[in-house]
Structure 1
Amino acid sequence: MAELGPLVGEPLALDLVNTRARLPGQDFDFLSDMASFRHWLDCEREPLTAAALPASLLEAPTKRDLSAVRALRDHAAASIARARAGQRPAAADLRALNEAMHAAPVRRVLTGTDEGAILQPVRDGEKGTRIVAALAEAVAELIADPAVRKVRNCEADFCILIFLPMHPKRRWCNPAICGNRTRVARFHERRRARRT
C-alpha cells in the first residue's frame, strides 16, 4: 500500500469514485476507516473548499459522515458509468444525488471588504450533510457535462480507476504505477515469447 494512495487531481466526482482502487491481487478502499477518510478529505481540501465548504468543516469528520460519503460514492459510480455510456442515471441514483444536494443548498452572501464587496457562496446544513452535498453537486455537474463521455478507464489490465484526460494520448490513471507496471509486464511477455 505504500506505493498506492488515493488518486486525486481529477474532477472531484472522479476522485470520489477512485477511492476504490486495485493492484494485482489487492483491492484498496481509501474510505475504509476514519484515518483514510480524514486523509482523503485533506487531499481534497482545495476542491472541497471551492465548493463552499470552510476548511474547518473538514477537520473532524464523524463515522456517520464517512458512511454517508461511502453511500454517495456508490450512486456516483453508477451515475457516471451510465452517463459515460450516454444513458440516463437510474432513478434511485438521481434521487440520492438530488436529496444530498437539497439537504445542504448553496446560497450567495454579499460581504463588505476594505476594497468594496465580494459575493461568496455559503453552504447551509449540518457538517456531514454539507460534505455529502458538495460531493453530490460535483457528481451532478460532471454527469450533466458532455465531457463525461471523454472519461476513460485506465488501460492497465488490473486497474479500475477512471480519469478525464487533458491530453488525448493519456492511457493510464497514473503513469508511475499503472504505466510502469504495464510496460514492465509487456517487456517480460516479449522476453518469454523470444525464449520459446
Structure 2
Amino acid sequence: MLDLDSLPGDDLAVNLADTVMLAVSPPVDLLDDGHAKFWATQALPEGARAPSAEQTRRLRSAVRELLEATVAAREPEAWAVERVNAAAATVPTSPRLTAEGAKTSWHGEDGGDIALAAVAVAAIDLVSGPRAAQLRRCGAHDCSMLFVAANSRRVWCTPSLCGNRVRVARHAKKG
C-alpha cells in the first residue's frame, strides 16, 4: 500500500491529489496522520507554511477533479475550476532576476496562503500546458494514483510498488 513516503513525487499538484487513495473502499486519506509530514516534504516557495487540514482537503478535492478530468479528456466541474482559480489568486507573484537566474517571488504579505496558491498554480500549469498530455492514472487496478509520465511507456505510479505487484501477479498466473 502506498503511503506519503512512496508518492510518485512528479508535481506539487499531483502529490496533493495523490494523498487520497480512491481505489480502496473506504477511501484512505493519507493526510489523516500525515498532514504536517506532507507539507514538510514538498518543495514550497519561500515563506510558505502548512495550511490547515481542512483547507488542504478542500483544495485537494478541486485539484483531484481537475486532474481526473484531464486524464479522462472531459471538462472539469465548475466548482473545481473556481476553487483552484480562487486559491491561485490569493497570493500575487512576480518574476525576479537573481544571480542564480529567474525566480518567482510569492507576495503573501497581504494575506493569502502561499502553499495553497503554489499548489493551485501548479495544477493550472499542469492541466493547461504541454505536460497535460503526460498525466496518467496508474495502470494497477487497485491504485488510484496519478502521475506525470516523462516516458510514454510508463504505466504505473511507482514501478517498484505497483509495477512490481502487477508483474508478480502476472508471473504467478502463468505459473
TM-score computed with the length of structure 2 as normaliser:
0.82
Amino acid at match of 2:15: D
User: Larger helix proportion, structure 1 or 2?
Assistant: 1
% identical aligned pairs: 26
Q: Give a deviation string over 1:60-102, Cα, whole Å, max 9, x none.
A: x46xx22111111111111122223333332211211111112
| Aligned partners of 1:86 and 1:149 also within 8 Å | no
Question: Structure 1: any 5+ residue segments left out of the alignment?
Answer: 192-196
CA distance in 1, matches of 2:16, 2:125: 14
Say which of 51, 63, 80 aligns to 1:93.
Answer: 80
Aligned residues: 172
Say which of 143, 147, 156 aligns to 1:159.
Answer: 143
Question: Structure 1 stretches (4+) deviating beyond 6 angstroms?
Answer: 22-26
Amino acid at match of 2:40: D
Question: Structure 2: any 5+ residue segments left out of the alignment?
Answer: none
Offset of 1:18 from its aligned partner?
Answer: 0.9
Equivalent residue, structure 2, for 1:147: 131
Amino acid at match of 2:38: W
Equivalent residue, structure 2, for 1:39: 37
| Aligned partners of 2:134 and 2:152 also within 8 Å | no
CA distance in 1, matches of 2:104, 2:67: 29
CA distance in 1, matches of 2:53, 2:115: 10
Structure 1 residue 132 corresponds to structure 2 residue 130 = no
Q: Give a deviation string over 1:152-194, Cα, whole Å, max 9, x none.
A: 1111111111111111221211111111111111122122xxx
Structure 1 residue 77 corresponds to structure 2 residue 64 = yes
Give the root-mean-square deviation of aligned CA atoms. Answer: 2.8
Q: Larger Cα Rg: Structure 1 or Structure 2?
A: 1
Moved more, 15-24 or 150-159: 15-24
CA distance in 1, matches of 2:127, 2:37: 26
Query: Residues 172 and 8 of structure 1: is their aligned pair in 2 closer, same or farther, counting only changes over 3 Å?
Result: closer
TM-score computed with the length of structure 1 as normaliser:
0.74
Query: Residues 105 and 120 of structure 1: is their aligned pair in 2 closer, same or farther, counting only changes over 3 Å?
Result: closer
